[in-house]
A and B are shown apart, each in its own frame.
Chain A
Amino acid sequence: MSTNVIMPQMGESVAEGTITKWLRKVGEPIGRDEPLFEISTDKVDAEIPSPAAGILSQILVKENETVAVNTVVAVIDGEGAATGAPAQQVEAKVSTPPEVPEAAEPPTPAAAEGGEIEAEGGSAAPESEEVRSSPLVRRIAREYQVDLTQVRGTGSGGRISKKDILDYVEQRQSAAASRTGAAQPPSAPAASISPPAASLPSPTPAPVQPAPAPPAFTGPAQVVQMTPMRRQIAEHMVGSKRTSAHVYTVFEVEMSKVVETRERQRDEFERRNGFKLTYTPFFVRAAVEAIRDIPVINSSVDAMNIIYKRDVNVGIAVALEAGLIVPVIKRADEKNFLGIARAVQDLAERARTKRLSVDDVQGGTFTITNPGSFGGLFGLPIINQPQVAILGVGAIEKRPVVRDDAIAIRSMAYLSLSYDHRVIDGAVAEKFLSRIKQILENWSEPVL
């Protein structure tokens, strides 16, 4: 084991020393703490004792040479080298000539982060440099993918202020919301901006939602990227919840008449038409009839206007392996029972074989979904934007009910209506479901 002998620092500001005399030659033995060499510095001359015992194996700095403090001037081979290490540690860490402590890399969020962020959001939020704004405004622009050159500034000197950009974003969102279409963009943001989570502004993720993402899960998991359909569903559902004032009402309907009619007619129906008679057409017909009486169910909202649609295009939610899809029965109000039944059958078939056209899934004005088909008692579905109501049909089950103050067993089903309280009040919703109930419980339309 060998020990390095170093030029010691004799005084706080001394940076170098000169070897004036070696007291041993190479190859000679030396004891620990025995004088090994003499030095001269600015402040003092001194005799330096050996840090270890052993043989002086190398002299690296000659007499009359001047070297910097901590330079290795000789090497000793032999025992007692353990003391060498701490000394060097100490040297390395402490006694190097006083240096101005390097300023830790300043975070400079403005420069570094700002540049990063600009690049990330570059494609959709350009030219924020050319327009007068502020860090806050630029951040909002990034989050909402706003081109600042399109925003009118009312701040001093035409600067875009926080109010200006928030107004712009709100206007843009409500304009988008009035357009019809299957997948709607996310709705208008809340007026207050949530503060950045970290102390330094973090780069924004790929443009989707303005709400901050929850912390990433770190346990064992399998990561699967969303399919386009799933992404669309996700966006639409969240957007719908944000747009409409969802309220729910549930009715219980006695399905005896309908069940009995279906039982009676199903075989003949199937024989004549080549497909099974399901309950769906009953509900669609009832809904369409009820809409005739309460047309606001068939409307949509455009800023401060209610658009009453003339056609009743009923969407039927179909569950697929990969998600769900809502093909639309166009002008259902012009079809009779059989026409509806045929349309349902056709769309469901094409949905399952992926042969629906774009037109098949667009233009709906009202939607019916069937949580009951999987056993659900009733559901609270999300309104299919830009509609204002959606009917959920629960499972048809035999239940004990009270009739004429006695218990009777009847086929019952829950109907739930999710409706948009912006334009439909409770009384109206109740009236609508009541009408459907009435139609179903008193079914009279011929099925064949």
Chain B
Amino acid sequence: MPVLTYVEAIRQGIWEEMERDPSVFLLGEDVGVLGGAFKVTDGMLEKFGAERVIDTPISESAIVGAAVGAALMGMRPVAEMQFMDFIACGFDQIVNMAAKMHYRWGPALPIVIRGPSGAGVHGGPYHSQSNEMWFVHTPGLKVIMPATAYDAKGLIKSAIRDDNPVIFYEHKFLYRRIKEEVPEGDYVVPLGKAAVRREGKDVAIITYGAMVWTALEAAGELEKEGISLEVVDLRTLLPYDEEAVLGSVRKCNKVILLHEGTRTGGMAGELAALIAERAFEDLDGPIVRITGLDTPVPFSPPLEEYFLPNARKVIEAARKLARY
């Protein structure tokens, strides 16, 4: 089986969907001739032509709005935000136009808005954000963040086939750094389902995106000390897999919630409330959050490092919690 990087897996997923369904097309800044700022759409213009791979002006609102219009006409557009930080420029079209359309007057709105997010690459405040919670807070959308190459391909396919607006976050740190065997040909990973990356019994750690790898790294270290971590990768943030979260909490009775996004209003807060509501009597220790700081993502390496969670922070927290 071929070994693909995370970015290659996404590219293959989009490519296969373009071949499979002629109503799928791409639009965004520099997606055609350049093949995308991160080369995700490399080669697609030559293969599929200028009508299906459209280089647009710098107009996030128009990009998303045009995607909405095309979807209403029966197409399946995949719109790229060059960096997910810039999704804010198309915010109105996403949360007011796309998210509410089906609820209000019934049409399917099969658009995918995809782009690179996340920190760890010295990108500074506008090339490093994890702003998924703006959209997790908006009913009508689906929000996805794959952590592995296999999932990235399977999830982009599911996203394209879904009849709802899907925001697809690709963690730029993972683009070329992770690779694994990815099956050629068609397969999908279902939206709305988490995956247990590593089974454990002492402390459950619920996370997503690049932080899954941080959690796995910590788990490997902690095993040597006899602390067994169960790592759960949410994969979909909206609608998220409540049963998977609760199941791991009930099994381990202690839980750490880990994400890169900023702390206040982050996914960890939402999960903590769910756990306290539904698994209170399964808790043998307090719920612990490890998140990005409540600041913009700073540029200088020591500042960025301080901002981000890392394996060391996870190991310390897990030790403490295990001993509680």
Whether A and B touch (Cβ < 8 Å) is answered with: yes
Task: Choose one: B276, B278, B283, B323; the contact of A199 (CB below 8 Å).
Answer: B278
Within 8 A of A (CB), among B260-302: 276-285
Contacts of B280 in A (CB 8 A): 109-110, 135, 201
Q: Within 8 Å of chain B (Cβ to Cβ): is A139? A: yes
Contact A162/B277 with A136-B283, A155-B324 known, Cβ cut-off 8 Å? no
On whether the beta carbons of A201 and B281 are closer than 8 Å, the reply is yes
Please measure, in the bound complex, the distance between the C-alpha atom of A100 and the C-alpha atom of B32, giving whole angstroms: 49
Contact A134/B285 with A109-B277, A155-B323, A156-B324 known, Cβ cut-off 8 Å? yes
Chain B residue total in the interface (Cβ 8 A): 14
Please measure, in the bound complex, the distance between the C-alpha atom of A109 and the C-alpha atom of B283, giving whole angstroms: 13
Task: Choose one: A110, A134, A195, A201; the contact of B284 (CB below 8 Å).
Answer: A134
On whether the beta carbons of B323 and A156 are closer than 8 Å, the reply is yes
Please measure, in the bound complex, the distance between the C-alpha atom of A245 and the C-alpha atom of B71, giving whole angstroms: 66
Residue among A135, A159, A162, A199 with max Cβ neighbours from chain B (10 Å): A135
Q: Within 8 Å of chain A (Cβ to Cβ): is B236? A: no
On whether the beta carbons of B278 and A195 are closer than 8 Å, the reply is no
On whether the beta carbons of A195 and B324 are closer than 8 Å, the reply is no
On whether the beta carbons of B323 and A195 are closer than 8 Å, the reply is no
On whether the beta carbons of A136 and B284 are closer than 8 Å, the reply is yes
Contacts of A201 in B (CB 8 A): 280-281
Q: Within 8 Å of chain A (Cβ to Cβ): is B250? A: yes
On whether the beta carbons of B277 and A107 are closer than 8 Å, the reply is yes
On whether the beta carbons of B253 and A162 are closer than 8 Å, the reply is yes
Q: What string of 1s and 0s marks CB contacts (under 8 Å) between A131-156 and chain B?
A: 00011111100000000000000011
Please measure, in the bound complex, the distance between the C-alpha atom of A107 and the C-alpha atom of B285, giving whole angstroms: 21
On whether the beta carbons of A136 and B324 are closer than 8 Å, the reply is no
| Distance from A142 Cβ to chain B, minimum over Cβ atoms (Å) | 9
Q: Within 8 Å of chain B (Cβ to Cβ): is A187? A: no
Contact A135/B323 with A107-B277, A195-B250 known, Cβ cut-off 8 Å? no
Main secondary structure of the interface of B (DSSP, over half): helix
For residue A156, which residue of chain B has the nearest CB?
B324
Please measure, in the bound complex, the distance between the C-alpha atom of A196 and the C-alpha atom of B285, giving whole angstroms: 18
| Distance from A365 Cβ to chain B, minimum over Cβ atoms (Å) | 42
Contact A137/B284 with A155-B324, A199-B278 known, Cβ cut-off 8 Å? yes
Q: Within 8 Å of chain B (Cβ to Cβ): is A161? A: yes
Contact A135/B278 with A156-B324, A159-B324, A162-B253 known, Cβ cut-off 8 Å? no
Please measure, in the bound complex, the distance between the C-alpha atom of A161 and the C-alpha atom of B282, giving whole angstroms: 12
On whether the beta carbons of B253 and A136 are closer than 8 Å, the reply is yes
Please measure, in the bound complex, the distance between the C-alpha atom of A137 and the C-alpha atom of B282, giving whole angstroms: 8
Residue among B253, B280, B285 with max Cβ neighbours from chain A (10 Å): B280
On whether the beta carbons of B284 and A161 are closer than 8 Å, the reply is yes
On whether the beta carbons of A136 and B277 are closer than 8 Å, the reply is no
Please measure, in the bound complex, the distance between the C-alpha atom of A162 and the C-alpha atom of B281, giving whole angstroms: 12
Please measure, in the bound complex, the distance between the C-alpha atom of A199 and the C-alpha atom of B274, giving whole angstroms: 10
Please measure, in the bound complex, the distance between the C-alpha atom of A29 and the C-alpha atom of B234, giving whole angstroms: 69
For residue A109, which residue of chain B has the nearest CB?
B280
Please measure, in the bound complex, the distance between the C-alpha atom of A136 and the C-alpha atom of B249, giving whole angstroms: 11
| Distance from B271 Cβ to chain A, minimum over Cβ atoms (Å) | 15
Besides A139-B281, A161-B324, 5 other A-B contacts (C-beta < 8 A): A134-B284, A135-B283, A135-B284, A136-B282, A199-B277
- List, sorted by A's number, 12 A–B pairs whose CB atoms are closer than 8 Å: A107-B277, A109-B280, A110-B280, A134-B285, A135-B284, A136-B282, A136-B283, A139-B281, A156-B323, A161-B324, A196-B282, A201-B280
**A-B CB proximity, top 10 nearest:** A139-B281, A195-B250, A136-B284, A201-B281, A162-B284, A134-B284, A135-B281, A199-B278, A156-B324, A135-B280
